[in-house]
Chains A and B, each alone.
Chain A
Amino acid sequence: MIRRKNTKNKKKQSNFAKLSIFQNNKFKFKKSCPLSVKGAPIVDYKNIKLLKKYISENGKILPSRITNICQKKQRELSISIKRARNLALI
């Protein structure tokens, strides 16, 4: 068991170690979208707790390149944030 864990850690570390400025984009470490994982919360204009995570302090919608959200979910998010704004919830 210990050996297996070690090998996993090594793989991750090596992935990070490869990162550099002069590198191809292919090898860049990319996080998966947090809202399209299994068991992720549903994007809804009533779910203010979730929406508040994805707006800045001034109430602007954060770009997906910062939050790592996929295009489909980002569209849903922006619509539901605008709905919540209209009802003065956010």
Chain B
Amino acid sequence: MNLYEHTIVVKQDTSTAQIKKLTEKYSKIVETNDGNIVQTENWGLLNLSYIIKKNKKANYIHFKIKGNGKIIKELEKNESIDQNLLRYMTVKVKKFDLETNYFSKKDEIEKKENNKN
């Protein structure tokens, strides 16, 4: 069993319901291949640093997957066809860092600042 971090970049004009569907779709693929999803993170709408296929912003979804390499093969096979996605990336890691979430913190800080104002 290996540990993988998997991120997908979804087009800017997909609705929240569609994003939910996508996450369910890919988590199902993982589960059917004897994998285990440890954590899913939704980083939300972020600014892209450069334009990809005429998109300036994109939604990011991050999975932490425990399982065999077969899962990744199956996932990437499905993702390369998917028209809602811009990019996908998998990284094999030795240890999961479940505590720090680099993207949710920003939102909290911004919210706090907004509340103060």
- A residues touching B (Cβ–Cβ < 8 Å)? 42, 44-49, 59, 83, 85-90
Please, which residues of chain A bring their CB within 8 A of the CB of B49?
Answer: 59, 85, 88-90
Contact A88 B50 (CB under 8 A): yes
B89 touches A (CB below 8 Å) = yes
- B residues touching A (Cβ–Cβ < 8 Å)? 7, 9, 46, 48-50, 52, 58, 60, 87, 89, 91, 97, 102-103
CA gap between A39 and B58 in the complex, in Å: 33
Contact of A88 among B48, B102, B103 (CB under 8 A): B48
CA gap between A79 and B91 in the complex, in Å: 11
CA gap between A12 and B49 in the complex, in Å: 43
Contact B91 A83 (CB under 8 A): yes
Q: Answer whether A42 and B89 are a contact pair too, CB < 8 Å, given A47-B102, A88-B58.
A: no
Contact A86 B102 (CB under 8 A): no
Contact A88 B97 (CB under 8 A): no
Please, which residues of chain A bring their CB within 8 A of the CB of B50?
Answer: 88
Q: Answer whether A87 and B89 are a contact pair too, CB < 8 Å, given A46-B103, A47-B102.
A: yes
Contact of B7 among A47, A49, A85, A87 (CB under 8 A): A87
Contact A48 B87 (CB under 8 A): no
CA gap between A90 and B50 in the complex, in Å: 9
Chosen A-B contacts, 23 in total, with CB atoms closer than 8 Å, are: A42-B97, A44-B97, A44-B102, A45-B91, A46-B103, A48-B102, A59-B49, A85-B49, A86-B87, A86-B89, A87-B60, A87-B87, A87-B89, A88-B9, A88-B48, A88-B49, A88-B50, A88-B52, A88-B58, A88-B87, A89-B46, A89-B49, A90-B49
